[in-house]
Structure 1
Amino acid sequence: MTTTNTLDLEGIKRRLPHRYPFLLVDRVVDYVPGESLHARKQVSANEPWVTGHFPGQAIMPGVLLTEAMAQACGLMAFVTREAEPGSELPPEAPLFFLVGVDNARFKRPVEPGDTVDLRISLGRVVRGIWLFEARAEVDGNLAASAGIRCTMKEM
């Protein structure tokens, strides 16, 4: 029997500093520390960007889709660090900062009502830079992908 590791909204908020309207991950469906993470974002018609991007045909801005992937990468880094022997979530958790986005590609629009599956895989950590491959999918179809780079800063 396999164990599913999940994070609800409170677990996400203990690890990420983002809050409404900029917290773009609603739940973590499963993760394997050091390997992969699957998170979800429910795109609502009530989000602040809907009225202006674009009037009459709302689509989630690519920069916000990229931010959602980056936040999921930050969560992946947290759960990987927490899985290290003797490590636990401290009262003042470190921050993971986005330091690079490579080869970003946008393949289909994301609209209100869509569920975005954020699929993250950890490549490696090189001199304090965490290298991830991120995919955003809707109904199993690729919406966006990017290489994401983050670094950690202890607070």
Structure 2
Amino acid sequence: MAKDEFIIDLDLLDPDKPIADIEAIRAVNPQRHEMEQLTAILYEDLDRNVSAALKEITADEFWVRGHMPGMPLMPGVIMLEAAAQLSSYHASKHDLLGSAMVGFGGLDEVRFRGVVTPGDRLIIMVCLEKVRRGRMIVARFQGAVDGKLVVEGVLRGISIPVEHVTGQASTS
């Protein structure tokens, strides 16, 4: 893939100089522990509704032992979760959806183009192409390792009724 085909010019991204660390991500996103799939935010452009994040892939990831033994490959669904978390972070931080929480609403055109393994630095990029306040977001996303595309697609985020979900959790 040519450099100019990425959502963000990879030369603009410095994984060693993030603009937001894990604590800043936690202030916006609710995921914790093994479900945190972003390490740092690297870039934001509100005019274009574009963001980039880093996910440091370590040997301690919860999936390494079982996916697959002797050949640890980051599951595609976890790559998709990272893209969803970045989309949610961007939409929530800038109150684009008008919702306390953004959840997964669907996926389209997903393609896996390479593997991600422990030791890799996965760069996730999203471009929110449609924002319908109170309803949904549509984001094009890409993931790259060492300048090579490993995943791409389109995801939809929906407004989550937090009060309904938290009410159910307390009665279970």
Question: What TM-score, normalized to structure 2?
Answer: 0.77
Instruction: Give runs of ≥4 in structure 1 deviating > 3 Å.
Output: none
How high is the sequence identity, in percent, across the aligned residues?
28
SS in structure 2 at match of 1:38: strand
Q: 1:106 aligns with which of 94, 112, 128?
A: 112
SS in structure 2 at match of 1:77: helix
Q: Write out per-residue CA displacement over residues 33-83 of structure 1, whole angstroms, 9 at most, x where no aligned residue.
A: 25100100000011111011011111000010110111011011123327x
- Per the alignment, residue 27 of structure 2 pairs with 14
Shift of 1:146: 1.3
The structure-2 alpha-carbon separation of the partners of 1:117 and 1:97, relative to structure 1 and needing over 3 Å to count, comes to same
Mind listing any 5+ residue stretches in structure 2 that lack a counterpart? 1-16, 163-172
- Per the alignment, residue 59 of structure 1 pairs with 73
- Structure with bigger strand share is 1
Distance 1:150 1:110 in 2: 24
Distance 2:40 2:53 in 1: 6
Q: Write out per-residue CA displacement over residues 104-129 of structure 1, whole angstroms, 9 at most, x where no aligned residue.
A: 11000100000000011010123611
Distance 1:6 1:79 in 2: 13
Q: Which structure's relative contact order is higher, taking Cα pairs within 8 Å and 6+ residues apart?
A: 1
Shift of 1:154: 5.5
Distance 1:5 1:56 in 2: 32
Aligned alpha-carbon RMSD (Å): 2.2
Shift of 1:7: 1.7
Equivalent residues in 2 for 1:1-155, closer than 5 Å: 6-33=19-46, 35-81=49-95, 94-126=100-132, 128-153=135-160, 155=162
Mind listing any 5+ residue stretches in structure 1 that lack a counterpart? 88-92
**Pairs aligned (count):** 144
- Structure with bigger helix share is 2
